[in-house]
């Protein structure tokens, strides 16, 4: 090494010193994490380059994630803040009677307002079929009592999740009733059809 330095020209020595400094600077930058986002080419970092559970919500720009970025079935109820989803966030016809806990519905409130401001003595009249494996069923019409009017109604299937049953009739019957019909699309176990009229 001494012979090499002794035989080197001044310009060679300066070049070697510059080389060692530049190499040391790169090593120092990598070791201390001084490479910032500006030094990384767009789209150069992929999912496999990021260690699991190292990214947090503050690392993602607002509105930076879209539905296509979330794997199907990856989100659960605990991942969604209460009251953060409204009707406009749901695609049409994505909720059925099996996704709604009917016991949590309050038919005496409309849009958060007491129905007493609009109608008096709101009540629900239910009819139902037998709970058996019959392939075709029609619930008796649910009729509103005298001196009340039909405000609405509906139909639901009472059966284990995944039972192959389709509702074919679900609508008003005359001026004060609601009718419902359904059939099994494949052989199935016991199931029941319920029709209900909302009267006031």
pLDDT at 23 over 60: no
User: In whole angstroms, what is the distance from residue 48 CA to residue 198 CA?
Assistant: 55
pLDDT tens sequence across 2-17: 555 555 666 776 666 6
Strands 113-114 and 109-110 come out as: antiparallel
Q: How far, in Å, are 12, 25, 158 from residue 21 at the CA level?
A: 14, 6, 77
Q: Is the pLDDT of residue 43 over 60?
A: yes
φ, ψ (nearest 5 deg) of residue 34: -85, 5
What band does 27 get if pLDDT is binned at 50, 70 and 90? low
Average pLDDT over residues 16-36: 58
Per-residue pLDDT reduced to its tens digit, 156-184: 999 998 899 999 999 999 989 999 999 99
For residue 140, CA distances in Å to 23, 44, 98, 116, 156 come to 86, 64, 21, 29, 13
Give yes or no for residue 127 having a pLDDT over 90.
yes
Whether 125 contacts 177, CB under 8 Å: no
CATH class for the domain made up of 97-199: mainly beta
Angstrom distance (rounded) from CA 177 to CA 97: 20
The confidence band for 128, taking pLDDT boundaries of 50, 70 and 90, is very high
Give the pLDDT of residue 168: 95
| Residue written as token pair 């035989």 | 7
79-124 residue pLDDT tens = 788 777 776 777 776 766 666 666 566 655 656 666 556 566 788 9
Whether pLDDT at 146 is above 60: yes
Q: Cα 155 from chain centroid?
A: 24
pLDDT value at position 135? 96
Residue 192's pLDDT is 96
- pTM for the model: 0.46
* Whole-number Å distance between alpha carbons of 125 and 153: 9
Instruction: Please name which of 117, 164, 119, 169 lies closest in space to residue 142, comparing C-alpha atoms.
Output: 169
When mean pLDDT is compared across 117-131, 136-150, 174-188, the lowest value belongs to: 117-131
């Amino acid at each position: 090494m001494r012979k090499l330095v002794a035989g080197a020209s001044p310009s060679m020595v300066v070049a070697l010193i510059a080389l060692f400094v530049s190499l040391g600077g790169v090593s120092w930058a990598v070791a201390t994490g001084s490479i910032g986002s500006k030094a990384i080419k767009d789209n150069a970092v992929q999912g496999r380059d990021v260690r699991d559970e190292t990214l947090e919500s503050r690392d993602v720009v607002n509105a930076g994630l879209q539905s296509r970025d979330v794997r199907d079935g990856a989100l659960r109820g605990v991942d969604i803040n209460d009251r953060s989803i409204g009707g406009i966030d749901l695609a049409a016809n994505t909720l059925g009677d099996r996704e709604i806990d009917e016991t949590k519905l309050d038919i005496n409130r409309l849009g958060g307002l007491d129905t007493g401001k609009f109608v008096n003595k709101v009540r629900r009249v239910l009819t139902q079929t037998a709970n058996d494996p019959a392939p075709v069923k029609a619930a008796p019409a649910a009729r509103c009592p005298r001196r009340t009017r039909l405000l609405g109604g509906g139909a639901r299937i009472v059966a284990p999740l995944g039972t192959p049953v389709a509702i074919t009739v679900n609508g008003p019957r005359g001026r004060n009733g609601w009718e419902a019909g359904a059939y099994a699309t494949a052989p199935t176990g016991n199931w029941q059809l319920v029709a209900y009229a909302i009267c006031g």
